[in-house]
């Protein structure tokens, strides 16, 4: 196996599929080891390139392979799929991973450190708690609606719901009041845990110089700054700010043909957590501009005068993404462009 150049690995929970190939793509071996056998095999095999799909556990195995001295290449699954031949199975998937890794223009995913994944887990946990909080409020509103207690959507209505539940003049069965209090107790637990996580994010964002720099840009707060640090790869991996915006899925999908340019909706192909936070920040800026007025003659004022709000929010998030790339690569705080000042 001295002439093996690339080993394609189709990851799974228990049984992996390996495909070893030479530099010209010739097959050297196909193996189907268990999880324990896989690591033992890789420890004994001569060092080469290891290619895997960027899926669950890929970063864990990527760190292990790098520690063993292998050159690791993680490939987005969407870029592997075109190389799968006819039948979809583990052996064909491993072969497709090898073929995709040979492409000179292939885009690879950087292996994340354990610390980066820990930061990402903080955001995923916060999102889970926020979703659970919304589910509890919506469930409580729905239950009480059956008894004529109506409240508008949103967290702001919780106080009025509590007042109605505790009001002795409201005709609610005792069991309904008891179960409503169960919902409210669970809601309080979610609020406390969300507050703990957000406090941690604010403290880390304040103490880290990179996140402090990111917060100088309008529309980026502690949560967004920490999300960028947790989910984004090194900015040096992008040639320009537009590439970073495209990675976030903030550019339109192209369906151009015959020399005719056809642009559709945003691709939504990239990192959705950062994209969502940038759009939320952009919407906040737009609401402020509509209430107080955008700067006279600014790009935002012109866009709001002729485009729908959501389209302006996407465009503003795109501009913010480009500004993030410039700030991180140049190590500079945000400055308002002269044309917009």
Cα Rg, the chain, nearest whole Å = 26
d(CA 245, CA 145) in angstroms, rounded, equals: 44
CA-closest candidate to residue 217, choices 132, 298, 327: 327
pLDDT of amino acid 161: 87
Share of residues in the chain with pLDDT > 90 (%): 59
At 43, the pLDDT band (50, 70, 90 cuts) reads very high
- Mean pLDDT along residues 257-278: 78
- Tell me the two tokens of residue 243: 């590439």
Mean pLDDT of the chain: 89
Across-strand partners of 8? 19, 51
Burial of 102 (0-12, 13-18, 19+ CB in 10 A): middle
| pLDDT single digits (tens) 268-288 | 677 889 999 999 999 999 999
> Whose structure tokens read 């193996």?
31
What is residue 259's predicted lDDT score, i.e. its pLDDT?
72
Listed residue (266, 241, 249) closest to 321, CA to CA = 241
The string of pLDDT tens digits covering residues 205-253 is: 888 888 999 999 999 998 899 999 889 888 988 999 999 998 998 887 7
Q: Which tokens sit at 5?
A: 């150049």
Q: Which of 38-42, 156-160, 328-332 has the lowest mean pLDDT?
A: 156-160
CB 29 within 8 A of CB 1: yes
Sign of CA dihedral 283, 190, 231, 76: negative
- Average the pLDDT over 11-34 and give the result: 93
Give 53's DSSP letter: E
Do residues 312 and 303 make contact, with C-beta atoms less than 8 angstroms apart?
Answer: yes
Would the pLDDT of 339 be above 70?
no
Q: How, if at all, do strands 49-53 and 6-10 pair? A: parallel
> By the 8 A CB rule, do 267 and 253 touch?
yes
Q: How confident is the model at residue 1 (pLDDT cuts 50, 70, 90)?
A: low
Q: What is the pTM of this model?
A: 0.81
Q: State phi, psi for 61 to the nearest 5 degrees.
A: -70, -30
pLDDT digits over 155-175, tens only?
Answer: 888 888 888 888 887 788 889
Mean pLDDT value across residues 48-61 = 94
Q: Cα 207 to the chain's mean position, in Å?
A: 23
* Confidence band of 72 (pLDDT split at 50, 70, 90): very high
| Separation CA 273–CA 338 (nearest Å) | 31
Residue 340 has pLDDT above 60, yes or no: no
Please name the residue ranges forming H helices in the chain: 35-44, 58-68, 77-80, 90-102, 114-145, 158-166, 174-207, 209-214, 222-231, 241-247, 272-292, 299-306, 309-330
* Residue pair 268/244 in contact by the 8 Å Cβ criterion: no
Specify the pLDDT at position 167.
Answer: 82
Look at residue 341 in the predicted model and tell me its pLDDT: 43
- pLDDT band at 263, cuts 50/70/90? low
């Amino acid at each position: 196996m001295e002439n093996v150049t690339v080993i394609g690995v189709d990851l799974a929970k228990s049984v992996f599929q390996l495909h070893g190939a030479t530099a010209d793509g010739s097959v050297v071996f196909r193996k189907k080891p268990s999880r324990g056998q896989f690591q033992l095999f890789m420890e004994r095999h001569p060092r080469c390139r290891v290619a895997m799909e960027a899926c669950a556990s890929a970063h864990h195995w990527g760190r292990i392979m790098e520690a063993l001295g292998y050159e690791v290449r993680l490939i987005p699954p969407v870029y592997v799929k075109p190389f799968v031949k006819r039948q979809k199975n583990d052996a064909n998937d491993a072969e497709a991973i090898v073929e995709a890794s040979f492409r000179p223009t292939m885009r690879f995913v950087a292996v994340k450190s354990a610390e980066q994944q820990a930061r990402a887990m903080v955001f995923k946990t916060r999102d889970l708690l926020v979703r659970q909080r919304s589910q509890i409020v919506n469930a409580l509103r729905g239950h009480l609606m059956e008894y004529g207690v109506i409240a508008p959507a949103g967290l702001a209505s919780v106080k009025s719901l509590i007042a109605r539940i505790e009001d002795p003049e409201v005709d609610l069965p005792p069991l309904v009041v008891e179960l409503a209090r169960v919902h409210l107790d669970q809601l309080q637990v979610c609020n406390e845990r969300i507050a703990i996580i957000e406090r941690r994010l604010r403290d880390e964002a304040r103490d880290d110089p990179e996140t402090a720099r990111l917060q100088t840009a309008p529309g980026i707060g502690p949560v967004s700054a920490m999300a960028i640090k947790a989910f984004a790869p090194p900015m040096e991996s992008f040639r320009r700010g537009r590439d970073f915006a495209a990675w976030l899925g903030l550019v339109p999908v192209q369906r151009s043909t015959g020399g005719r340019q056809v642009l559709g909706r945003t691709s939504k192909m990239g990192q959705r957590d950062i994209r969502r936070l940038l759009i939320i920040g952009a919407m906040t800026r737009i609401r402020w501009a509509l209430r107080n007025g955008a700067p006279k003659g600014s790009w935002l004022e012109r866009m709001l005068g002729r485009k729908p709000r959501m389209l302006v929010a996407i465009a503003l998030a795109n501009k913010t993404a480009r500004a993030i790339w410039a700030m991180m690569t140049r190590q500079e705080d945000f400055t308002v462009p002269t044309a917009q000042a």
